[in-house]
């Protein structure tokens, strides 16, 4: 397989987990390069549902190697529990098929407490984070005071560094009126997790260089989505990492010239969980999807906000990520509609935009300009080939791919592996 970066082209939850699982068949190695257990990637195999938070979605394919790259922020307690959950379901996670970067940063309980306390302090202006401590952990990384996996697995060094960090964090928590955390408890819990994880820890940068030199195919699993990127998203309503394609290089140590292809995953409509602008948000689409029991978050269970497909956003995502190929998921979610709207531009009064304005206050004022497409009103979930799809569904897919300025490669008509059409 060509070395492939897979990114979310919208606001997260595009169905990346499902598409990674499908593409892993042809890959040797799958690498997570950004984010932490704020991610929730759903894969359904043989009717069994798996929700992956930190472990790459390639883990469900025997014989493939999964790697947590240096760009990830890792909650060791969450990871050990995720590994145990997979073991219960019969999925093998061993040092032979799973590696953890020694330079990934570690998420601590004080990061989660600070995340919660800062959200509370923001009141109405909150971001709507997953409260997994992601922002404060990346904050410590950027401030050069964070602890990395190599610290976690070195007992003496860990005890000393943790002590200093807990003192500092507790002072911040006090300032926010939040409860302090216990150094003793964290030390005990994290030392136990370190004992489980130690044998998985490796220099993943060197490992990936040797693998690419040996022409092994690497799939880079993006987390979150383009508009949650710390630089390119709808700041400040974003996560704290580079979720876009460039993050695959910095978050894994594999250089740009080794990357062959970028695949953008997007839903046939739009969703977002958390606060911030969503120009095509629409009650009809929300009611339809929630009524079908769909679009509830895989990590926090929150109802996702839903809207029509936003081609201004996905076009922007093509530009920022260099998307070559598109995987469109959840086409079946639109099966019952007689007419489907697609946003092809934004407008503020008489001023038109065909790209996403960077200024969040301008974006918040943007009104979506729609083109209407006819619905197909046929169940697509059993289609397995392009020609099985109703002509109007094929036209819709061609239209949104055209508007996005990338080549349609995959259409997904259900959560299962088999519900995948290669175009």
**DSSP per-residue letters across 364-401:** HH-EEEEEEEE---S--TT--SGGGS-HHHHHHHHHHH
The reply on whether position 40 binds Mg ion by CB under 5 A is yes
Taking CB within 5 to 8 Å according to partner kind, which of Mg ion, ligand IMO, ligand GDP, none is near residue 15?
A: ligand GDP
Question: Are 327 and 410 within 8 A, CB to CB?
Answer: yes
Q: Which helix (H) or strand (E) holds 115?
A: helix 109-122
d(CA 356, CA 370): 15
Binding mask 335-374 for ligand GDP (x = CB under 6 A): ----------------------------------------
Q: How far is the CB of 95 from ligand IMO (least distance, A)?
A: 25
d(CA 343, CA 308): 7
Nearest to 370 by CA among 267, 270, 263: 270
With CB under 6 A as the contact rule, the residue among 130, 170, 282, 412 that binds ligand GDP is 412
Strand partners, 374: 339
With CB under 6 A as the contact rule, the residue among 15, 58, 233, 357 that binds ligand GDP is 15
d(CA 201, CA 203): 7
d(CA 332, CA 324): 24
21, 26, 28, 41: the catalytic one is: 41
The reply on whether position 21 binds Mg ion by CB under 5 A is no
Q: Toward ligand GDP, which CB reaches closer, 158 or 237? A: 237
With CB under 6 A as the contact rule, the residue among 108, 220, 414, 423 that binds ligand GDP is 414
Taking CB within 5 to 8 Å according to partner kind, which of Mg ion, ligand GDP, ligand IMO, none is near residue 228?
A: ligand IMO
Q: How far is the CB of 203 from ligand GDP (least distance, A)?
A: 28
DSSP letter at 321?
H
Burial 310-337 (b: 16+ CB within 10 A, else e): bbbbbbbbbebbbbbbbbbbbbbbbbeb
Binding mask 320-339 for ligand GDP (x = CB under 6 A): ---------xx-x-------
Asked about 13 being catalytic, the answer comes back as yes
Question: Are 33 and 69 within 8 A, CB to CB?
Answer: yes
With CB under 5 A as the contact rule, the residue among 9, 13, 69, 323 that binds Mg ion is 13
Q: Which helix (H) or strand (E) holds 306?
A: strand 305-307
The reply on whether position 307 binds ligand GDP by CB under 6 A is no
Structure-block tokens of residue 113 = 């407490």
Question: Are 134 and 73 within 8 A, CB to CB?
Answer: yes
Binding mask 16-45 for ligand GDP (x = CB under 6 A): xxx---------------------xxx-x-
Asked about 232 being catalytic, the answer comes back as no
Q: How far is the CB of 228 from Mg ion (least distance, A)?
A: 11
The reply on whether position 329 binds ligand IMO by CB under 6 A is no
- The residue behind tokens 């088999």 is 418
Site residues for ligand IMO, 283-322, by CB under 6 A, read 298
Q: Toward ligand IMO, which CB reaches closer, 297 or 390? A: 297
Question: Are 394 and 383 within 8 A, CB to CB?
Answer: no
With CB under 6 A as the contact rule, the residue among 274, 277, 279, 307 that binds ligand IMO is 274
User: Is 360 buried (19+), middle (13-18) or exposed (0-12) by CB count in 10 A?
Assistant: middle
The reply on whether position 298 binds Mg ion by CB under 5 A is yes
Give the CA count within 13 Å in the CB-facing half-sphere of 173. Answer: 20
The reply on whether position 404 binds ligand GDP by CB under 6 A is no
The reply on whether position 221 binds Mg ion by CB under 5 A is no
The reply on whether position 14 binds Mg ion by CB under 5 A is no
Region near ligand IMO per CB under 6 A, out of 126-134, 200-208, 250-258, 361-369: 126-134
Q: What is the CA radius of gyration of the chain?
A: 21
């Amino acid at each position: 397989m060509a070395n492939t970066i897979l990114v979310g082209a919208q606001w997260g939850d595009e169905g990346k987990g499902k598409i990674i699982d499908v593409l892993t068949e042809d890959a040797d190695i799958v690498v997570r390069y950004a984010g932490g257990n704020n991610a929730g990637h759903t894969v359904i195999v043989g009717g069994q549902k798996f929700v992956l938070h930190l472990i790459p979605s390639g883990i469900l394919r025997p014989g493939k190697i999964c790697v947590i790259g240096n760009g990830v922020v890792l909650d060791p307690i969450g990871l050990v529990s995720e590994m145990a959950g997979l073991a219960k379901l019969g999925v093998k996670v061993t040092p032979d098929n799973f590696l953890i970067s020694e330079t990934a940063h570690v998420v601590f309980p004080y990061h989660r407490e600070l995340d919660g306390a800062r959200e509370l302090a923001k009141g109405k202006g909150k971001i709507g984070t997953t409260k997994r401590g992601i922002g404060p952990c990346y904050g410590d990384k950027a401030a050069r005071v964070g602890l990395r996996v190599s610290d976690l697995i070195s007992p003496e060094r860990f005890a000393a560094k943790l002590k200093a960090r807990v003192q500092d964090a507790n002072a911040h928590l006090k300032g926010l009126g939040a409860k302090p955390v216990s150094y003793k408890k964290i030390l005990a819990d994290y030392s136990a997790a370190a004992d489980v994880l130690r044998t998985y820890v490796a220099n993943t940068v060197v490992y990936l260089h040797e693998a690419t030199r040996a022409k092994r195919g690497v799939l880079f699993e993006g987390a979150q989505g383009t508009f949650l990127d710390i630089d390119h998203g709808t700041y400040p309503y974003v996560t704290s990492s580079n979720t876009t394609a460039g993050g695959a290089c910095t978050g894994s140590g594999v250089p740009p010239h080794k990357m062959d292809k970028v695949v953008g995953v997007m839903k046939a409509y739009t969703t977002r969980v958390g606060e911030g602008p969503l120009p095509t948000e629409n009650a009809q689409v929300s009611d339809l999807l929630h009524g079908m029991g769909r679009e509830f978050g895989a990590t926090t269970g929150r109802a996702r906000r839903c809207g029509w497909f936003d081609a201004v956003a996905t076009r922007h995502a093509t530009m920022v990520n260099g998307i070559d190929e598109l995987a469109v998921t959840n086409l079946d979610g639109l099966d019952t509609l007689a007419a489907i709207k697609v946003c092809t531009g934004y407008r503020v009064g008489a001023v038109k935009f065909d790209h996403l304005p960077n200024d969040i206050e301008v974006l918040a004022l943007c009104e979506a300009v729609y083109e209407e497409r006819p619905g197909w009103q046929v169940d697509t979930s059993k289609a397995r080939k392009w020609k099985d799809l109703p002509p109007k569904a094929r036209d819709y897919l061609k239209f949104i791919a055209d508007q996005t300025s990338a080549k349609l490669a995959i259409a997904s008509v259900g959560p299962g592996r088999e519900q995948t059409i290669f175009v």
